[in-house]
Every structure is written in structure tokens, then in C-alpha cells.
Amino acid sequence: MDFTGKHVIVTGASSGIGEATARTLAARGAAVTLIARRAERLVALAAELGGKTRWFAADVGDGEAQCGALEQAVAEGGAVDGLFLNAGTGGSFAPVESYGEAAFEQVLNVNLMAPYRAIAQLLPAMKARGRGAILVTGSLASERGMANNAAYVASKHGVLGLARAVALEAAPHGVRCNCIVPGFIETEMFAALPSDALAQIAARVPQGRTGSAQELAEAATFLLSDAASHVTGQSLAVDGGVLGTLSV
């Protein structure tokens, strides 16, 4: 998994899974472009990762802002070898009938429309080069329902479907597209869940524990690398066994 000479864009790079993956990619030689909203986090990470790292502060839910950041990333960092569309929001918890249309749309906009827009923008150049790897971040909610979080579940089902559809369109052109499915991973998003739920969740994972951002980063780096050259249209769960088991 040598990324020397490769340019990889990571959205949601200011914390958690995106940050860990950016570190892992940079350690393996990639020139990494970091995108998220919190500029101060990106500045610090870029300084730590060194000269080949670029950063752009943008809200990926703002189509123009994301488009501009991606344009600049290509202008400064060159053709894109890897595109990790990982930025995501958990949305709020409410029954579907009171969730609210604006709140529902906001979650879909960040979790589904932003990856769609980024792929529509960058896939043509990847196809023309005949190479490239796209990875989107799904969730257990890409594969299962969850009460009181309908927007997140719909968006994460959607992004898995997007990855599968793009994989088919891109495969004849040498471009791969996959979905990584985090289980319960210790990041800021996970810590935002109600505290009494966290210990209960960990106990119900077959491995008996939650996962780390680094455990996600290793699998994401594999899927973005040439080591995964025959892997496309797949969802890979990094979840300690949750999706593989029957729980009643």
C-alpha cells in the first residue's frame, strides 16, 4: 500500500475517521488534501503531516463551496488518485413524523448529495485517466434500520446505493468505487450519543468493544490503494462482527 506520488482527497478530515485515514495515507507517501469546515483543525493537521498536505475549509453541504474546494485541490495537487468522501452528520433524533423537512434535507445534503456532487465533478477526469479509487463512508445504517433517525438511515442507505451504481459505471474505465461501513467507532460523532447508550452498545458488539478510528483508517487505506485493485462495488464493514450476526 504505497501511495508515493499519489494525490488523495479526504473529506471530513478534521477529526475521527477522516483524520486517522489522512494520517495513514500521508505516512504511506500520499499527498493528501484535507477538507472540512474547522480550519484550525486542518491547519494543525496539515502542519503535522508536512509539505505535500493541502487543506481547504468548506461546508460540503454547500454545493458551490465543495465544488470550489475540489477545483482548487486539483489545480494545486494534481489529478486525483483517491477520493474519500467521508464527511457526515448524524442529524437529530426524532420520530419520522416530527423530524421536519428542513432537518431531513440537511442530513441528505451532507451525507448523500455532497458525495454525489463530488463524484459527478471528479469522475470524468478519473475515467479519462483510466485510474482512480473512490470510497464513500456508509454506516450500519446503510444496511439496517434504526428508530428515530430516519434521515441518517435514508442518507446512508443512499450513499451505499450511490457507490454500487458508480462502481458499475466506472469499472469499464479502470476506476473503482466502494463503501466502508463503520460499526461503533470512538470518534466525536459516537461520543455525541447519549452516554448511557455507549456502554450498552459496546457490550453488544460481538468483539465486546467499540472500534478505533485507526481501525477504520487501515481498511479505508486498503480500499483506496492498488492492493484492492480487483475490489469494486463492495461495502466493507469494520464493525467487530455486528452486521454478521443475528440479534433478537
Ligand X SMILES: NC(=O)c1ccc[n+]([C@@H]2O[C@H](COP(=O)([O-])OP(=O)(O)OC[C@H]3O[C@@H](n4cnc5c(N)ncnc54)[C@H](OP(=O)(O)O)[C@@H]3O)[C@@H](O)[C@H]2O)c1
Least gap, CB of 240 to ligand X (angstroms): 11
Residue 189 binds ligand X, judged by CB under 6 A? yes
Query: Is 116 annotated as catalytic?
Result: no
In angstroms, the CA 230 to CA 76 distance is: 30
Q: Which of 152, 180, 184, 190 is catalytic?
A: 152
178 binds ligand X (CB under 6 A): no
β 175-182/31-36 pair status: unpaired
Piece of the chain touching ligand X by CB under 6 A; list 37-45, 127-135, 194-202, 227-235: 37-45
Among the listed residues 7, 32, 33, 61, the single contact to ligand X using CB under 6 A: 61
Contacts of 94 (CB under 8 A, 6+ apart): 100, 103, 148
Per CB under 6 A, 84 contacts ligand X: no
Figure out which of the listed residues 24, 53, 137, 225 binds ligand X, where binding follows CB under 6 A.
137
State which of residues 32, 49, 83, 88 lies at the interface with ligand X (CB under 6 A). Answer: 88
User: Please, which residue, 171 or 191, has the CB nearer to ligand X?
Assistant: 191
218 interacts with ligand X by CB under 6 A: no
36 binds ligand X (CB under 6 A): yes
Q: Tell me, residue by residue from 92 to 131, as one string, x for binding to ligand X by CB under 6 A and - for no binding.
A: ------------------x---------------------
**Which of the ranges 85-93, 122-130, 160-168, 195-203 carries the binding residues for ligand X, by CB under 6 A?**
85-93
Where does this chain touch ligand X (CB under 6 A) — which range of 16-24, 73-81, 120-128, 197-205? 16-24
Stretch that binds ligand X, among 22-30, 56-64, 94-102, 164-172 (CB under 6 A): 56-64
The CB density around residue 197, as the number of other CB atoms within 10 Å, is: 11
Exposed (0-12), middle (13-18) or buried (19+): which is 147, by Cβ within 10 Å? exposed
Beta-strand pair 54-57/31-36 = parallel
Angular region, 100: left φ>0, alpha ψ -120 to 50, beta rest: left
Q: Does 80 bind ligand X (CB under 6 A)?
A: no
Q: Contact residues for ligand X (CB under 6 A)?
A: 12-18, 36-38, 41, 59-61, 86-89, 110, 137, 139, 182, 184-185, 187-190
Residues known to be catalytic: 152
